């Protein structure tokens, strides 16, 4: 039986997976992401939906889509690689934090406490995937008469309502993808999963053998980035 017959089925299936996982105690969940590179068209819908969801300022990117042209003209092909945070099981960014402001939570997601982070940026240097960025306090609509609403509206990262403003966290903090935990805990999929136009991204509980992500990893050939560093990412790529 084909794994995914049509797009809507996948979304419904993942949301059911989510409900099942949320019934379990948090420590028994293990969130993971699977990205099908054969379906990615590099439209950056994931990048944009993440920006809209988390209202990240200029330069702060939780998700990016790397693009590379392979071959010699006219025999060329483009390869795309969406890159969220890998949510490593052995995260090098966590060990280096001098104040313990970032850690792997019991659901396996690497989180940051914005009210503790001192902004030393050591974790950015330690991430082999470039998944962490620093909030310099910049705005997209700086220099216009009024800051746009999408910059001043509250965000709900880590299930805390926060309005970004000068001199207060998360300005001056390091920021990263958190698998939209605030959405997940409400039974919603991460923004990038919902908005992927090619249904190339999947999300779910890796501990649940019946989840779509587990099934995809069983059925298809999957790889992870920089396996040699021993970081044990929980983002898998299908090719």
**Residue range at the interface with another protein (CB under 8 A); choices 17-25, 111-119, 179-187, 205-213:** 111-119
Q: Does 126 bind another protein (CB under 8 A)?
A: yes
Positions in 204-233 near another protein (CB under 8 A): 225, 229
**Closer residue to another protein (CB): 136 or 150:** 136
Q: What's the rounded Cα separation, in Å, for the pair 229 and 90?
A: 10
Closest by Cα among 110, 108, 84 to 207: 108
Instruction: Give the residue with the Cβ less far from another protein, 142 or 219.
Output: 142
CB 218, CB 43: distance < 8 Å: no
Q: Which is nearer to another protein, 8 or 68 (CB)?
A: 68
The yes or no reply on residue 138 touching another protein (CB under 8 A) is yes
Q: Which stretch binds another protein (CB under 8 A): 143-151, 155-163, 167-175, 204-212?
A: 167-175
- Report, in Å, the least distance between residue 128 CB and another protein: 4
Q: Which of 11, 15, 22, 120 binds another protein (CB under 8 A)?
A: 120
Site for another protein in 10-49 (CB under 8 A): none
Stretch 71-110 residues interacting with another protein (CB under 8 A)? 81, 83, 92, 95-101
Structure tokens at 97: 């934090």
Binding part of the chain for another protein, among 32-40, 65-73, 187-195, 213-221 by CB under 8 A, reads: 65-73
Distance in Å, CB of 49 to another protein, minimum: 16
Q: How far is the CB of 88 from another protein (least distance, A)?
A: 11
With the CA atoms of 21, 48, 40 and 233 taken in that order, what torsion angle do they form, in degrees rounded to the nearest 10?
A: -50
Q: Does residue 133 touch another protein according to CB under 8 A? A: yes
Contacting another protein within 170-199 (CB under 8 A): 171-174
How many CB atoms are located within 10 Å of the residue 135 CB? 21
Instruction: Tell me, by CB under 8 A, how many residues bind another protein.
Output: 47
What span, in angstroms and rounded, lies between the C-alpha atoms of 145 and 121?
A: 32
Which residues bind to another protein, rule: CB under 8 A? 58-59, 61, 64-68, 81, 83, 92, 95-101, 116-122, 124-130, 133-138, 166-167, 169, 171-174, 225, 229
């Amino acid at each position: 039986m084909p794994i995914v017959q049509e797009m809507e089925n996948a979304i419904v299936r993942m949301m059911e997976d989510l409900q099942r996982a949320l019934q379990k105690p948090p420590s028994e969940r293990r969130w993971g992401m699977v990205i099908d590179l054969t379906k990615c068209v590099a439209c950056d819908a994931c990048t944009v939906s993440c920006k809209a969801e988390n209202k990240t300022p200029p330069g702060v990117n939780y998700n990016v889509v790397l693009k590379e042209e392979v071959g010699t003209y006219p025999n060329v092909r483009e390869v795309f690689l969406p890159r969220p945070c890998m949510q490593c099981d052995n995260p090098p960014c966590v060990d280096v934090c001098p104040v313990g402001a970032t850690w792997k939570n019991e659901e396996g997601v690497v989180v940051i406490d914005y009210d503790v982070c001192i902004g030393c940026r050591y974790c950015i240097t330690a991430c082999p995937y470039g998944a962490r960025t620093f909030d310099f306090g910049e705005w997209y609509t700086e220099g216009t008469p009024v800051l746009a609403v999408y910059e001043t509206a509250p965000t709900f990262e880590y299930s805390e309502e926060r309005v970004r403003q000068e001199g207060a966290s998360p300005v001056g903090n390091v920021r990263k993808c958190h698998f939209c935990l605030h959405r997940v805990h409400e039974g919603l999929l991460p923004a990038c999963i919902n908005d992927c136009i090619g249904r190339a991204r999947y999300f779910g509980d890796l501990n649940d053998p019946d989840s779509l992500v587990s099934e995809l990893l069983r059925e298809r050939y999957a790889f992870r980035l920089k396996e040699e560093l021993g970081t044990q990412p929980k983002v898998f790529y299908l090719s």
